[in-house]
Every structure is written in structure tokens, then in C-alpha cells.
Structure 1
Amino acid sequence: MKLKGRHVVISLILLVSGFLVAYSYQQAKDDPKVVQLSEQKWEKNYEYRKQAIDLVDKNKELREELDAKMQKIQDLEAELSSKEELVGQYVDQKKQLQLLTGKLAVAGDGVQVALNDANYIPNEENANNYIVHESHIHKVVNELFSAGAKAVAINGQRIMEDSFIACIGPVISVDGVEYPAPFIISAIGDPEVLFPSITLTNGVKDQLESENIEVNIKKVNDLEMDANIAGER
């Protein structure tokens, strides 16, 4: 009986050992499969990481490109701004020239200077020494323009850059149009500048009065002068 019991124990040991060996063998067969799956996951992770790095590099490249374009836009804006300022200066110069040439109508405050022949002419004196001549009108017109007048007119006729003023006996011809005294010279500009420029001590007014010319000057509001139409005065 003891021998049979020993056989049973040995049989059980062998059975268990066989089971363990078979299990270990099965585990050994399964291990490569587990390792293979891990490598696939690692490869996928590597690809994801590589894509992420590529995206970061691409974003950096795009950001640098965007910064470069933004800088170019700022440079263009600065250039355009300087050109706009230059164009604005040209426009202002053009307007000033158009005002001087009479191509633009103009309105505003200013002054009026009235020149008249002397009321009394002594019998023994030459009458020409007591009447208004073109030189007197030129003095007033030149002084007004020098003081910043935007536009000047004589008896309502606007003076242009090529206007011709001549004395014909007792009358004055302005671009072929004759006017008798008194001669009203109107100027549009700052009255606080134009008025003193004429009435300055030893200035135009004093010079004309010393030559027996009656001079009256006043500040006026809302003067208007039309634009000169080509071929018309």
C-alpha cells in the first residue's frame, strides 16, 4: 500500500510539473507577440511625435513669414504716408498757384484800398502830379501780394499773374479794360496783416499821400472773387 501511495504522489508531482512546463511553454510562445505589439505602439508614438515636431517647425516658419510680411506692410504704409504728405504739399502748392493765376474762385475777409485823384490842383502845378498813375496802383498791389493776399482785384476785375496795368490819360487800363478814378483795390487775406502792411509808417500809404494821392483803406468781410475763365477777363 505504501508503494502505491508513493506512485500516486509521484504521479501528481509529474502531472503538476507537466502542467507548469506546458504553461511556461505557452507563455514563452506568447511573449514575442507582446513584444511585437509594443514595437508597433512605439512606432506609432514616434510618428505622432515626429508629426508634432514637424507642425511646430511649420508653425514657426509660417510665423516668421507672417512677421516678414507684416514688416513689409508697415514699410509700405510708412512709404505711402510720406508720399501722401508729399502729394498734400503738391496739392497745396497747386492751389496757391491756381489762386495766383485766378483759376480758383476765392472768398473771405480782407481789405479795400481806395485811390483817388487829389481834390485840389493848384493852377500853376502840373495836373499829372495830382492824379493816380499805374505806378501808384502797382505799389499797392505788390504790397498786398507781398503781405499774403490770396487774390487782388481792381474795381472788381481780378488781377492775374500776367495782368497789364497802364495809365491812359485820366483813366487806368487793366488788361484792356479802362476805369476812371476812384480805383478800388480789393484784397482777400488776413485783414490784421494786410491793413498794417499798407498803413505802416513811411509805407505805401504815406508814400502815395506824399505824391498827392488820396488814400482810404478799410477792413472788409466776405469779399468774393470769381475764377478767371480762359480767354476772359
Structure 2
Amino acid sequence: MKLKGRHVVLSLVFLVLGFLLAFSYQQTQKDSEIIQLSDQEWEKDFYYLQQLNNLEDKNNQLRNELEEKRQSIQELEANLANQEEEIADYVSRKNELQMFTGELPIKGQGIQVTLKDSEYIPDEENANKYMVHERHIHQVVNELYSAGAEAISINGHRLYRNSHISCVGPVISVDGTPYPAPFTIEAIGDAEVLKSSITLTNGVVDLLVSDNIEVEVEPLETIEMRARTVGEG
């Protein structure tokens, strides 16, 4: 009976021991799964972290490129602005030159110089000595150009760089068109400068008067001259 009792006790001991071993083995397996699952989560976190770092690097690169593009655009805009100013200056200068050459109409202040044949001609004198000749016209025109005249016309006929003035009997021919006296010469420019230049003591007006030419000088607020037409001048 004692032996059987020991067997029962040993059986119980072995049964409990087996149960403990089985439980310990199962728990070890579960811990291993937990550790392995944690490793997978860490690998995912590391992967995502790398992706995030890569995206940040890419964003920084794009941000730098964007800043470079912005600076390039600003430089381009500044260059374009300078070019526009230069082009505007060129266009303005071109228009001025075209006005001077007669390719464009011109308008501005200036003076009007009127030359007339002398009303008094002694019977014994040669009438040509009391008439306006081409040299008188040239004296006035040359003096006005020297004083800064931008454009000049004779009896409404605008002078150009290749215009020619000649005397044909009692009339003056301007570019082949005859005009009788009186001769009205208009000049666009600074009216005070032009008048002062032509009325200087012993200047052009005095010379004309000494040649028995009647001279009138009048400043004008506005003088208009048309552009040359095709085939003119």
C-alpha cells in the first residue's frame, strides 16, 4: 500500500512537472513570436523613416532649384526692363531723327522770318539790288540751322537734307517748286535762341537790311510741318 501511495505521489509530481514544462514551452513560443513581430514593426518604421528622409532631401533639392529659378526669372525680368528702356530710347531717338529728316511730321514753337523786296526802288538803280535772292534765303536758313533749328520751311515747303534753293528770275525755286516774294521762312526750335541768333548786331538781319531787304521776325507758339511725300525732295 505504501508503494502504491508513492507511485501516486510520483505520478502527480511528474504530471505537474510535465504540465509546467509544457506551459513553459508554449510561453517561450509566444515570447518568440512577440519578439519577431516587434522586429518586423521596427523594420517597417525604419523603412518609413528612410522614405521620409528621402522625401525631405528631395523637397530641399526642389526648394533650392525653385529659388534658383526664381532668381533667374528676376534677373531676366530686370534685363527685359532694361532692354525695354533701351528700345524705348532707340524708338524715341529714331522718331526724332525721322522728324529731322522729314519722314515724320513735326510740331513745336519757333520763329517766322519774312523777307520782302524793297518797296522803294530808285528809278536810276538796278531793281535786282532791291530784291530777295537765293543767297539771302541761304543766309537765313544757315543761321537758323546753326542756332539749333529742328525743321525749316519756306512758304510752307519743308526743307530736307537734300533740298536745293535757286533763284529763277523774280521767284525762288525750292526743290523745283517756284515761290514768289514775300518769302516766309519758319523754323521750329527754341524761339528765344533762334530769334537772338538771327538778330545779333551785324548779324544776318543787319546784312539783309543793308542789302535793301525788308525783314520781319516773329516768334510763334506753334508751328506745324508735314512729313515729306513720296517723290518729294
TM-score, with normalisation over the residues of structure 2? 0.81
Q: 1:30 to 1:201 in 2, by over 3 A?
A: farther
Q: 1:8 to 1:200 in 2, by over 3 A?
A: farther
Query: Counterpart of 1:223?
Result: 223
C-alpha distance in structure 2 between counterparts of 1:158 and 1:164, whole Å: 11
Q: 1:174 to 1:24 in 2, by over 3 A?
A: same
Amino acid at match of 1:109: Q
- 1:121 is displaced (CA, Å) by 3.8
Structure 2 spans left out of the alignment, 5+ residues:
1-6
- 1:52 is displaced (CA, Å) by 1.4
Task: Kindly report the root-mean-square deviation, in angstroms, between the aligned alpha carbons of the 2 structures.
Answer: 3.1
C-alpha distance in structure 2 between counterparts of 1:17 and 1:83, whole Å: 98
C-alpha distance in structure 2 between counterparts of 1:206 and 1:18, whole Å: 146
Q: 1:16 to 1:111 in 2, by over 3 A?
A: farther
Query: Counterpart of 2:63?
Result: 63
- 1:160 is displaced (CA, Å) by 1.4
Q: 1:61 to 1:36 in 2, by over 3 A?
A: same
Query: Counterpart of 1:95?
Result: 95
**After superposition, where does 1:145-156 map in structure 2 within 5 Å?**
145-156=145-156
SS for the counterpart of 1:137 is: helix
How much identity, in percent, do the aligned residues show? 57
Query: Counterpart of 2:54?
Result: 54
Query: Counterpart of 1:4?
Result: none
C-alpha distance in structure 2 between counterparts of 1:97 and 1:140, whole Å: 22
Q: 1:174 to 1:15 in 2, by over 3 A?
A: same
Q: 1:16 to 1:110 in 2, by over 3 A?
A: farther
Q: 1:34 to 1:232 in 2, by over 3 A?
A: same
Q: 1:206 to 1:18 in 2, by over 3 A?
A: farther
* Cα distance per residue 1:26-58 (max 9 Å; x no partner): 221111211111111111111121111111211
- 1:219 is displaced (CA, Å) by 1.6
C-alpha distance in structure 1 between counterparts of 2:17 and 2:208, whole Å: 144
C-alpha distance in structure 1 between counterparts of 2:120 and 2:222, whole Å: 34
Amino acid at match of 2:118: A
TM-score, with normalisation over the residues of structure 1? 0.81
